[in-house]
Amino acid sequence: MTRPVLQAADHTARAAIHHQTAESLLARTEEWAAVCYFYASLHRVRAALLADPIFGDPPRLATKNPALHPSDAHCTKHMGYTRMQNGRRKRVWGLNELVFLLYPAVAASYELLYNSSLEVRYQQGLATLSLQGASGHADFIREEFVRGNLRA
């Protein structure tokens, strides 16, 4: 069974749902709010990538990095890697790297939220940020997205 491919509007809707859930968890001081804030931000980044005109302009895209291709707007992994394809190494981009490369204004906030979500999910709990800090970083990314500032 093939999963439906989410469009920019779908990611935007998912971001709003995750953000609302985060706000509910924040009101109860539940650390999982940080995870929801991260995923709200992830969906905003994915929506921005899909709508970013740079992915429709391969020469301009190559000025950011020659290894970037229009299909990289559909990136789904957090971290990039290289793989062999037809005897050559092929770069597979991660969202974290694309944020740093294309949207540096929100890169630090995105990375803090990513790390905080890892702490909650796989470690002893939230350590890098307070819940209020996570909320602030997620709000910043949301504001930049709404203002249309997530464009390369």
| Mean pLDDT computed over 55-80 | 94
For the ranges 1-15, 46-60, 81-95, the lowest mean pLDDT is seen at: 81-95
Single pTM value for the model: 0.92
| Number of other CB atoms surrounding residue 39 within 10 Å | 20
Decide if pLDDT at 1 tops 70.
no
The set of residues, in sequence order, having a beta carbon less than 8 Å from that of 81 and lying 6+ positions away, is: 92, 94
